[in-house]
Structure 1
Amino acid sequence: MSLNLVVKIHPVVLFQIVDAYERRNADSHRVIGTLLGTSDKGVVEVTNCFCVPHKEHADQVEAELNYAMDVYELNRRVNASENIVGWWATGNEVTNHSSVIHEYYARECREPVHVTLDTSLSGARMGLRGYVCAALGVPRGKQGCMFTPIEVSLTTYEPEIVGMQLCQKTMAGGGRGRQVQPVMDLAQVADAAAKLSSLLDQMVSYVEEVLGGTVEGNNAAGRQLLELVTALPALAAHSFQDSFAASVKDLLMVVTLAQLIKTQLQLNEKLTLLTSQ
């Protein structure tokens, strides 16, 4: 069992876990499920999950394993690249029944990971933790296991970043039920340009303060700035402006064509309905 595993979870997985917890039965205090994703070179990337109905008693655990396998096979038809990588549970701790559940997933995949999500919001935070199970015991003696913490972090695809930004906007009003609409493409470009300009101003101000001796330089920040500068092509100012203007024109042309095609399809649909009547 490798203790150097790193788990990277996508936001959609967290939303699915919270949704399953909100839809749980009234007598269920904990919800469990299967984690789906990929595992490569010590990095487990969790991209999907589903809930597994179960009941926990004092001395045993009852889980609908046939249901879990049916859902997994259906998911494989949609996305064959997602495999079982472990299991999740709500709560902020590992319980006595966790080892029993982990034994089942150890038969379904190699080195399964266990992720807990604290939906009780203890400490005003939704704690996210990851574990692997390390075997304990003596030769030809009674065997056991110990859940050892591992590193867990969040990772996102670009479309997920847009969704997360929309979710952050719903928090601005402070009230529930606040609705927001997706921002148009050009508005997103303008917002991104404004944020980039603000970050560049902060970077220039920091560099000037370091050169002026008012602020002590940070070696890590200096190395990151050097990597940023060397990653950019060496272009003159007018060449960069021409290239940027050409890219903006191409973007505007694509947006215009997309809007025209959308309008044409809508008109065609209305004409088809009128002729059919």
Structure 2
Amino acid sequence: MALNLSVKIHPVVLFQIVDAYERRNADSHRVIGTLLGTCDKGVVEVTNCFCVPHKEHADQVEAELNYAMDVYELNRRVNASENIVGWWATGNEVTNHSSVIHEYYARECRSPVHVTLDTSLAGARMGLRAYVCVALGVPRGKQGCMFTPIDVGLACYEPEIVGLNLCQKTMGGGGRSRQVQPMLDLAQVAEAASKLSGLLDQVVSHVEEVLAERTEGQAAAGRALLELVNSVPSLAADTFADAFASSVKDLLMVVTLAQLIKTQLQLNEKLTLLTSQ
């Protein structure tokens, strides 16, 4: 059953793991922690995590489990829907001590997952892997376990996508400032429309190349395009233009009201300060 699991990790979890690795003690070569999230229909969605202080020796592992449970209980007060789903560790491989740590998390949740994040950037990339522990052995004989890889990928909420796009703008640039400011709502809409237009141009160009038999078509791409076309509402051009214009007017009205409320609050704050003086 555990082999059918797949893991979806949110970007904020990766940022937290990297931050914990950067803040580690000088004598720590590996950092571990608890994964929090939900498990539904064979998909483990990891939405949060925290670091667990520990020390690894040649023959044993020392972890502050009481600290881990205290942090978990505090997190439950803030978000009761997040449960323990497994644990994470920095590095690109499973170590000899991983089975001992995994045994603890097996008592805290059913079928815990183990995620490794290669913060050393081996191979010029941050490798992300996920495992489940499968029991091995013979009946009434010696028992063991084996970490088996499972599918792992990224999942994003819409606010996370906005944050990632903003972070992406700070990459590169040489000597330029790596600080960026969030754009206004209308500027974000214009940028998204421009990107969408560019993607549509690429799709049209690819379809024309396939029809002209200059490029070999792919069945998966064709099915995806067919699904995309069928998802578009069947509306006349005039009806679609009117609906789109109405949506834009609603957006402009919301932006205007938000700016008016913000201005009113600022004026009220200044008037309150003046009267108090």
TM-score range, shorter chain: over 0.9
Q: Which residue of 2 aligns with 1:141?
A: 141
Residue of structure 1 in register with 2:96 after alignment: 96
Instruction: Provide, for residues 38-79 of structure 1, a one-character-per-residue CA deviation record: whole Å limited to 9, x for no partner.
Output: 011110000000000001111111111010000000000000
- Residue of structure 2 in register with 1:241 after alignment: 241
Q: Distance in 2 between matches of 1:63 and 1:21?
A: 16
Alignment of 1:44-193 (within 5 A): 44-174=44-174, 178-193=178-193
Q: Which runs of 5+ in 1 are unaligned?
A: none
**Secondary structure, aligned partner of 1:170:** coil
Determine the C-alpha separation between the residues in 2 that align with 1:274 and 1:264.
15
Q: Decide which moves more: 64-73 or 211-220.
A: 211-220
SS of aligned partner of 2:130: strand
**CA distance in 2: counterparts of 1:210 and 1:134, whole angstroms:** 46
* Residues in 2 aligned to 1:52 and 1:219: alpha-carbon distance in whole angstroms: 47
- How many angstroms apart in 2 are the aligned matches of 1:145 and 1:218? 41
2:15 aligns with 15
Report how many aligned residue pairs link the two structures.
277
**Secondary structure of residue in 2 paired with 1:3:** helix
Secondary structure of the residue aligned to 2:273 is: helix
**Distance in 2 of aligned mates of 1:271 and 1:29:** 56
Distance 1:152 1:98 in 2: 19
The one-letter amino acid of 1:45's match is E
Residues 249-264 of structure 1: pairs in structure 2 closer than 5 A: 249-264=249-264
Deviates more, 1:160-169 or 1:133-142: 133-142
How far does the alpha carbon of each residue in 1:107-151 deviate from its partner, in whole angstroms, 9 at most, with x for none?
A: 000000000001111111111110100111122222111111111
Q: Which residue of 2 aligns with 1:4?
A: 4
TM-score relative to the length of structure 2: 0.97
Match of 1:226 in 2: 226
Q: Which runs of 5+ in 2 are unaligned?
A: none
1:210 deviates by: 2.9
TM-score, normalised by the number of residues in structure 1: 0.97
Please give the alpha-carbon distance, in whole angstroms, between the structure 2 residues aligned to 1:143 and 1:219.
46
Computed over aligned residues only, the root mean square deviation of the Cα atoms, in angstroms, reads: 1.3
Change in CA separation of 1:209 and 1:123 when aligned onto 2, cut-off 3 Å:
closer
In 2, Cα distance between equivalents of 1:217 and 1:31:
46
User: 2:33 & 2:182 partners in 1: Cα distance?
Assistant: 31
Amino acid at match of 1:249: K
